[in-house]
Every structure is written in C-alpha cells, then in structure tokens.
Amino acid sequence: MRVRVNPIACVAHGVCAELLPEWVELDEWGYPVLDGEPLPAQLVTHARRAAAACPARAVVLSED
C-alpha cells in the first residue's frame, strides 16, 4: 500500500500527521510531506484510520 495526498483537496488540517506520525511529516506551512515509498505492513491500519479521519478527504491509499 502507498499513501498519497491530493494536494488540491488538502488544506493542512494536519490530522494525517497526528494519526500517522511515523510516516507523515508536516512542512512549515502545515502540509503533509510524503515520500511515496510502500507503506510498512504494521502501519496499514493507522493509514486507513488517517484516510478516514481527514476532513478534506485528501489522503489517498492505493494498493500496489
């Protein structure tokens, strides 16, 4: 699984960084920085929770 952010939808709520701090950093303006690498299996549940909790529906999970 990979985590992407739809940068058009994202308005820097920061919920993803709270729920998935191991994987998501925020830049100095509060927007998430992701490196696009495959997500480690132990973080998948947290990632799903972050995607569901994003108020902007900007966290995009893809299976590959």
Partner 1 sequence: MTARLLAGVDVAVDASLATHLDRHGRLPPLRTPGERAGMLDTLDRSGLLGRGGAGFPAGRKMRTVAAGSKRGARPVVLANGCEGEPASRKDTVLLTRAPHLVLDGIQTAAMMVGADEAHLVVQRGSATSTAVRHAVSERARTDAVCVTVHELPHRYVASEESALVQWLNGGEAKPAFTPPRPFERGVAGRPTLVNNVETLAHLALLARHGAEWFRRVGDPDEPGTLLVSVAGPPDVRRVIEVPTGTTVGDLLTRAGCDPTAAQAVLVGGYFGTWLPTGLALHTPLSHRGLRAVGGALGAGIVAALPRSSCGVTETARVAAYLAAESAGQCGPCINGLPAIADALRRLARGPWDERLAPALDRWLAVVNGRGACRHPDGATRFVASALATFSDDVTAHRSGRPCAASGTPGWLPLPSARQAEPGWR
Q: Give residues in contact with partner 1 (CB under 8 A).
A: 6-12, 27-31, 33
- 33 or 52: whose CB is closer to partner 1? 33
Nearer to partner 1, 38 or 41 (CB): 38
- Shortest distance, CB of residue 45 to partner 1, whole angstroms? 25
Collect all residues with Cβ–Cβ distance below 8 Å to 39 and sequence separation of at least 6.
1, 2, 3, 23, 47
Smallest distance from the beta carbon of 46 to partner 1, in angstroms? 22
Buried/exposed 7-22: b ≥16 CB within 10 Å, e otherwise: eeebeebebbbebbee
